[in-house]
Amino acid sequence: MIRKLLVSSIAATTAFAALPAVAQIQSGQAVIQEIEVTSTNRRSQGLADVNAAVSVIGEEELDLIGHTHHQEALNRLPGVNINRGNGQESLTSIRSAVLTGAGACGAFMVAENGIPVRSHGFCNVNEMFDAHAENAERIEVIRGPGSAFWGSNALHGLINVVLPEPGEAGEITLEQGPRGTYRGQAAIGYDQGAFKNILLLNGISEEGYHDNSNYDQQKVSWLYSYDMGDAQLDGGFTVSNLNQETAGYVVGKDAYEDSNLRDTNPNPEAFRDNINARVWTSLTRQFGDWEVVATPYFREVNMTFMQHFLPGKPIEDTEHRSVGIQLAAYRQLSNGANLAWGFDAEDTDGKLKQFQPNPTTGSFFLRNSIPQGMHYDYEVEAQQFAGFLSYEQSFDSGWELSLGLRLEQVKYDYDNMMIDGRTDQNGVACRFGCRYNRPADSDDEFTDLSPKFGLSRALNDNHSIQLRAQRGIRAPQATELYRLQNAQTIADLDSVELDSYEIGFIGAGDNWDYTVSLYFMDKEDDIITNSARENLNGGETEHQGLEVGVGFDLSSEWSLRGTLNLAKHEYENEIISGGTNIDGKDVDSAPNTFGNLRLTYRPSSRLLAELEYVNMGDYYTNPENTASYDGHDLLNLRAQYEVSDDLTVSLNVLNLANEEYAERADWTTFTGDRYFTGQPLRAFISVNWKYK
């Protein structure tokens, strides 16, 4: 029934659309007032009016960065630490450790124009590559829970890529880099009065630094807006495609410093193919005092990749199709307060297959516990229903109150397409018990409440204070419930809960601005995989930190900006890992310090240059805190020169000092120390032509 209703909603809204036509680099209070964000309540509002730990990378800064991987842009923000994998892969951290595992991606929501790029129960740790960030107008990041408006998966934070407004545009960018890197980018738009549209294109091909690590990626987005007089239509579509030959970890203590190992690929057979498509239309209309926004959407995701990090190197083939609708209504009450309410509904059909084409190699135990052939073949129909309410009011005392509440229900209908149990695909038991266990058909349901309370006040014309208390939630992912191992036949899991408390200060003047956030978060019922490979609600962690972002104009030509992150992430319950009780230990892959500093030089309107210093502190790479990575320091240089009003030349030099470092350091019982090695000094040069 829900699917019919959602399809009807999309069809109706699309029919209406068919009727008419077959952060900023500068600092200062004025600039902050002008920055618009939509991530906090799905409605554009000034950054200075938002009670949330939100950061924005604006169009000018994105143009200067010219990132070939989203890490280069996002890691400039407070609280954000993206570990780059090979090619376009990544692992995310927002006020957290760098999280891994089957459901780790559920801690962060990635959206484009407010539409999540993947369904709530079918996330992937690399899903940021599905968003068209290369052509973005801005990227917004909420640090800390965003569940009051966005629900499950906005546990530790939210990344929202906002594409340019439709309208007149005409520019082409061509770029060349090392090791056969070529990129083309274009924006073509037209303003036809009431109807505006824009086409965004991006394509990149790279041979890769490591052996057999080439990739090709293409993205296309089309957006439109139509003013109907008494209503407004906005919508479009995005399609992204990635074909990647993947390089795995290099193994051995400090292998990233070994010239004989650092550019090798221990897994030349590994690959990833991914296609993601989304289409949406928003209808905005006034009904009396209420402004109502309805956004139906459709999403399709198909991904196939080799799990080169697992014994036997099985291939995972996963797909899901979703139809959904977001609805929100806003009005101002007679007392000046702002009230918003809405609901979300989504219906998803998902499938997963895991197939091992070759016999398992390695120890006698592995060869007799991991069979060749099909490991999993299941289908899941997932439904999400949620309602939310928001209330904001200003008082004569100067305080502003912000309240939010969301009630959400996630349902899974799981259908195993193979033989139930712990056998090979033919029902034959393994000598030591098969690693992979297929549970019987089941229905699972999760209902969660996410409240938010906030207070803010302007202390004077230049400084304000914000106080927040909120809860983040995430329902278990489908893989945590149904891709079981060893003796576990049922994953009896609850939703993960994170309570966050925060005080923030924001200030800006004529030539300076700053943000300071002090937070404490307590996470319970975190889903872990124990030594018996069972998925359990056994994790409790504590997260506290200080985030500082500052900007200062040294003169009319020179400016300085930077971020500093001090954090402590600890295990808070007794868990035995590697024979050690890790209660009180630091969470692995969680540096206590990291940040960056950028010196910008603009001697004229035609020249802009930036020198960036990036610091990554040391961190433990295993829960027992017996293995670690020393951290690194990098320098990047960027410059833009406007040859004419139509032509701009850019230079992007990464790792200027040619530092030997690891993008990610890790440790496992089977391999010991292992690393995704960082690339040496490399330069990219591009030419941008604006033909209208």
Please enumerate in sequence order all residues whose Cβ is within 8 A of that of 644, keeping only pairs 6 or more positions apart, or say none.
none
Alpha helices in 56-199 (DSSP H): 59-65, 71-74, 147-150
CA 278/CA 114 separation, integer angstroms: 12
How many C-beta neighbours within 10 Å does residue 210 have? 25
State how many domains the chain has: 1
| SS3 assignment, position 78 | coil
Domain CATH code at residue 315: 2.40.170.20
How many C-beta neighbours within 10 Å does residue 520 have? 14
In what helix (H) or strand (E) does residue 537 lie, and over which residues does it extend? Answer: strand 535-553
Q: How far is CA 620 from CA 256, 574, 626, 667, in A?
A: 16, 18, 7, 9
CA 464/CA 469 separation, integer angstroms: 17
Using the CB atoms, write b or e for 616-643: b if 16+ within 10 Å: bbebbbbbbbebbbebbebbbebbbebe
Q: How far is CA 308 from CA 248, 269, 272, 314, 689, in A?
A: 7, 8, 11, 7, 42
Domain, as residue range, for 354: 2-690
CA 78/CA 144 separation, integer angstroms: 11
pLDDT score recorded for residue 21:
34
In what helix (H) or strand (E) does residue 31 lie, and over which residues does it extend? Answer: helix 29-34
Instruction: List the structure tokens of 324.
Output: 């959904």
Please say whether the beta carbons of 176 and 190 come within 8 A. Answer: no
DSSP letters spanning 367-435: HTTS-SEEEEEEEEEEEEEEEEEEEEEE-TTSEEEEEEEEEEEEEEEEEE-S--BSS-TTSPPPTT--S
Rg over CA atoms, the chain: 25
**Inter-residue long-range contacts of 535-540, CB under 8 Å, 24+ positions, other chains counted:** 535/102, 535/476, 535/480, 535/481, 535/484, 535/488, 535/491, 535/493, 536/493, 537/493, 537/494, 537/496, 538/573, 538/575, 539/571, 539/573, 539/575, 540/571, 540/572, 540/573
Backbone angles phi, psi at 691, to 5 degrees: -90, 0
CA 110/CA 299 separation, integer angstroms: 14
CA 465/CA 444 separation, integer angstroms: 42
pLDDT score recorded for residue 49:
62
C-alpha atoms less than 13 angstroms from C-alpha of 88 in its C-beta half-sphere:
31
Please say whether the beta carbons of 245 and 214 come within 8 A. Answer: yes
Beta strands 632-642 and 647-654 are antiparallel
**Residue ranges for the chain with pLDDT beneath 50:** 1-33
Please enumerate in sequence order all residues whose Cβ is within 8 A of that of 51, keeping only pairs 6 or more positions apart, or say none.
400, 402, 454, 455, 456, 466, 468
The residue whose two tokens read 């086409």 is: 199
Please enumerate in sequence order all residues whose Cβ is within 8 A of that of 13, keeping only pairs 6 or more positions apart, or say none.
233, 235, 281, 283, 294, 296
Over residues 279-335, the pLDDT tens digits come to: 999 999 999 999 999 999 999 999 999 999 899 999 999 999 999 999 999 999 999
DSSP state for residue 257 in the 8-state scheme: G
pLDDT score recorded for residue 576:
76
Over residues 599-634, the pLDDT tens digits come to: 999 999 999 999 999 999 999 999 999 999 999 999
DSSP state for residue 103 in the 8-state scheme: T
Please enumerate in sequence order all residues whose Cβ is within 8 A of that of 4, keeping only pairs 6 or more positions apart, or say none.
none
pLDDT score recorded for residue 41:
65
Please enumerate in sequence order all residues whose Cβ is within 8 A of that of 84, keeping only pairs 6 or more positions apart, or say none.
69, 71, 90, 663, 664, 676
Q: What is the dihedral of CA 447, 449, 450, 451, to 10 degrees?
A: 170
pLDDT score recorded for residue 39:
61
CA 600/CA 608 separation, integer angstroms: 7
CA 618/CA 594 separation, integer angstroms: 9
pLDDT score recorded for residue 100:
86
The edge-to-edge listing of strands for the beta sheet with 108-112 is 54-57, 138-143, 157-162, 108-112, 115-116
C-alpha atoms less than 13 angstroms from C-alpha of 376 in its C-beta half-sphere:
28
**Spatial CA neighbour of 308 closest among 213, 216, 380:** 213
DSSP state for residue 163 in the 8-state scheme: P
CA 296/CA 281 separation, integer angstroms: 6
pLDDT score recorded for residue 45:
60
Q: How far is CA 536 from CA 151, 316, 543, 655, in A?
A: 22, 23, 21, 41
**Spatial CA neighbour of 518 closest among 550, 548, 546:** 546
pLDDT score recorded for residue 149:
81
